[in-house]
């Protein structure tokens, strides 16, 4: 059985860099991101790998549960939590909704994925 890594935030930035490196190291990958088209670009560039993509939003309970289900049933070798969201504004202007999104993506999602 090969090595399997799940990478959140895989379509861009640090997540993409991790996914590229893990692909080069022979890992099979579960790639998680919000944009299906960007995930498909990665798949097209790596036809030799066993890849699963999940276009989900980790700021929602449904998105977290969908990915947590994969974490619970797949024999993961590695979990890379690199999904992120940022709102560049003074704290006094941050709405409750934006604050909840930040906490969900940066705290709740990684915690729920790591426990499984």
Q: What is the pLDDT of residue 1?
A: 56
What are 71's two structure tokens? 């974490």
* 33 close to 104: Cβ distance less than 8 angstroms: no
d(CA 12, CA 46): 16
Print the domain residue range for 20: 4-115
Q: Tens of pLDDT along the chain (116 residues)?
A: 589 999 999 999 999 999 999 999 999 999 999 999 999 999 999 888 889 999 999 999 999 999 999 888 888 999 999 999 989 999 999 999 999 999 999 999 999 999 85
Q: What is the pLDDT of residue 46?
A: 87
Domain CATH for 52: 3.40.50.720
Into how many domains does the chain fold? Answer: 1
Count H helices and E strands in the chain, helices first: 5, 4
Strand partners, 53: 31
């Amino acid at each position: 059985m090969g090595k399997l890594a799940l990478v959140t935030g895989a379509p861009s930035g640090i997540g993409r860099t991790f996914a590229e490196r893990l692909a080069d190291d022979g890992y099979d990958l579960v790639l998680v991101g919000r944009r299906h088209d960007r995930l498909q670009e990665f798949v097209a560039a790596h036809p030799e790998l066993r890849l699963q993509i999940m276009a989900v939003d980790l700021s929602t309970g449904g998105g977290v549960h969908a990915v947590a289900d994969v974490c619970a049933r797949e024999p993961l070798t590695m979990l890379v939590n690199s999904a992120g969201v940022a709102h560049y504004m003074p704290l006094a202007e941050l709405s409750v909704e934006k604050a909840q999104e930040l906490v969900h993506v940066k705290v709740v999602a990684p915690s729920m994925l790591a426990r499984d």
